[in-house]
Structure 1
Amino acid sequence: MQSVLGRGGDGFDASQPGIRHIQGLIRHGSPLKLTLLAGEQLQGVLRWQDQDYLAISQEGQPLTLVNRHAIAMLQSLA
């Protein structure tokens, strides 16, 4: 199974709709749920993204970095 957020090429293309949508979630502080390929689920708020990782803040826990290739689904809870 391939990640839904897998990158194409070697660069971070901020013009891509998926990247822009994620940036909007970050900007608005929208709560979301990440489902990983292994089945684990994380809920929280995204803080930043780069070409390889998303940083998710979960209540009462330190910032968690998730590799884009490990993500099966990203769902907004707002």
Structure 2
Amino acid sequence: METSNLDSSLPGVRLLQNWVRQRTPLRVRFPGGEQIEGCLDWQDPEFLALRPANAQQPVLIRRSALETIQPLD
């Protein structure tokens, strides 16, 4: 599996990193309508780690599986 570094010049990468720092509650929506809510712990080129409220471990979400990410505020 080939991985690359995150390009911090991209506005989407910078926005996600800002949400990580601020612990912004997010809603992630998948094709088909399924959704999950939580705070983003970290991101890498392939996955986002979203921690649902009261969860001890984050859920790993493949970036290519996402439809939308939006803040809940």
Q: TM-score, length-normalised on structure 1?
A: 0.81
What secondary structure does 1:14 align onto? coil
Aligned to 2:49: 55
* Structure 1 residue 73 corresponds to structure 2 residue 63: no
Aligned to 1:43: 37
The alignment-based identity, stated in percent, is 35
Unaligned residue ranges in structure 1 (runs of 5+) = 1-9
Runs of 4+ in 1 over 2 A off after TM superposition: none
Q: Could you say which structure has the greater relative contact order, defined with CA pairs below 8 angstroms and 6 or more residues apart? A: 1
Whole-angstrom CA distance in 2 between matches of 1:38 and 1:14: 30
Whole-angstrom CA distance in 1 between matches of 2:9 and 2:27: 23
Cα displacement (A) at 1:11: 4.1
Unaligned residue ranges in structure 2 (runs of 5+) = none
Whole-angstrom CA distance in 2 between matches of 1:33 and 1:45: 9
Q: TM-score, length-normalised on structure 2?
A: 0.86
Root mean square deviation, CA, Å: 1.2
Whole-angstrom CA distance in 2 between matches of 1:42 and 1:75: 11
Aligned to 1:12: 6
